[in-house]
Amino acid sequence: MQLNILGFLTLGLTVSALPGTKVVPRENSEEAARIIGGSVVSSGDFKSTAYLEMYDGGRMRNRCTGSLIAPNVVLTAGHCTYKDEFTQYMAGHFQVGITHNIPTSPSVLFEGHSVAKVIRHPKFSMMDLVDDIALLILADSVPSSEGTPIKIYSGKYSTSTPIRAAGFGLTDPNDPTSVSSQLMEVDLTIGSHSICSRNSDTYDSKTQICTDGTAGKDTCQGDSGGPLVTPVDNGSQKTALLGLTSYGTVSATNPDGLCAVKGSSGFYTYIAPYLDWIASEANLNVKDIQITNTTSSANDDDDEEEDSTTTSSRSSGSDDDFTDFTFLSNTDTDGVDIGDLASSFNSAMSDIFNEHGPTISGASRAQLAVAAVGVAAMLF
């Protein structure tokens, strides 16, 4: 299996990774484009989204996306700070704009905010794109009239959590010349552990999120570092950062590594585990940059035994679902879809058997199955 970076746009770069994986940028850096299967972002949304252009005076320019998390701090992908496998961009190579519109002509150099310091996660490697996260400390603060910092979501999430991505990436994976000057957005669905593991040899469930392989909707080249958001009901902001766009995969069923192919996942860095690192490196207070939902504690992420109904339960699918999400309290069961609950239960049990089956004895597997039936009877 191979990895395909979603925004690190250079010619002819192949990076060896773990056995069976590669990082394979798929696009000429001069050909900016946008999200696949999405729509143009309205002027009132994604006001924290940053356009990044990297130019070191050579023949090619690279483009990525990012998010403003403080007036002078932009969060993006670690690989966006590299020109190629071995060459890092310096602070002076970046121009950053908090904007919904970008130049489409390759002859026009973007002018925005300068970067004073580039901070890459110390464990990030171009070999496997794990810990794919970086900070850009701007030389000046972005005025509130230009952009509004977004908070990082620190509550729980599941495969039913609605997510939406935005970026300046490809609209057509088969047409590298499809160019747009506008920020795009697309609603996606979180994939299960088994799907993520199948689609990436280097998948780490603790620090990465993947999508479920729905055909026709995806992030693509140019979107790297861009926001993956989820709705929140806590405070004035409608959404918070759950992840950032990292990479796609090349596989036997998708040998060309095209975006939005059925069964292929996009992979995203899950940001919450990096909150302490972000706050420390950017001289920020963790409490100031995180948010959760009113029905979910920011400190309950490690409580594996907690009933999922005590945290947010949000439907996904349509744009309306994303905006008008609802929550369950400890006692309120109105609106619970038993079919969805049963499906999630069955999926969870399948994941347990698939992941731990080889290490569980036959007797233990039988006992686990009996227990599952009992729990199902009580639920349904």
Contacts of 147 (CB under 8 A, 6+ apart): 47, 48, 50, 68, 98
pTM (whole model) above 0.75? no
Task: List Cα–Cα distances, 161 to 192, 210, 246, 334, in angstroms.
Answer: 12, 12, 19, 18
Residues 203-217 pLDDT 10s: 999 999 999 989 888
Higher pLDDT pick, 320 / 112: 112
> Tokens for 18?
């773990």
Residues 272-329 pLDDT 10s: 999 999 999 999 999 999 999 987 643 333 333 332 222 222 222 334 445 433 332 2
Residue 6's pLDDT band (cuts 50, 70, 90): low
Q: What pLDDT does residue 49 have?
A: 95
- Distance of alpha carbon 162 from alpha carbon 150, whole angstroms: 17
Q: What 8-state DSSP symbol labels residue 308?
A: G
DSSP 176-211: TT---SB-EEEEE-BPPHHHHHHH-TT--TTTEEEB
Exposed/middle/buried for 365, CB within 10 Å: 0-12, 13-18, 19+? Answer: middle
Phi then psi dihedrals of residue 328, to 5 deg? -110, 140
Assess whether pLDDT exceeds 80 at residue 371.
no
- Distance of alpha carbon 198 from alpha carbon 113, whole angstroms: 40
Assess whether pLDDT exceeds 60 at residue 190.
yes
- Distance of alpha carbon 185 from alpha carbon 63, whole angstroms: 17
Higher pLDDT pick, 243 / 356: 243
Residue 103's pLDDT band (cuts 50, 70, 90): confident
Residues 62-96 pLDDT 10s: 889 999 999 999 999 999 999 988 899 999 999 99
- Please count the CA atoms within 13 angstroms of the CA of 120 that sit on its side-chain side: 17
The domain locations on the chain are 2-291, 308-379
In 223-287, where do the E strands start and end?
227-231, 239-250, 266-270
Burial string for 24-43 (b: 16+ CB within 10 Å, else e) reads bbbbbbbbbbbbbbbeebee
- Distance of alpha carbon 152 from alpha carbon 228, whole angstroms: 10
Q: What pLDDT does residue 117 have?
A: 98
Residue 378's pLDDT band (cuts 50, 70, 90): very low
Q: What pLDDT does residue 5 have?
A: 64
Architecture of 2-291 per CATH? Beta Barrel (2.40)
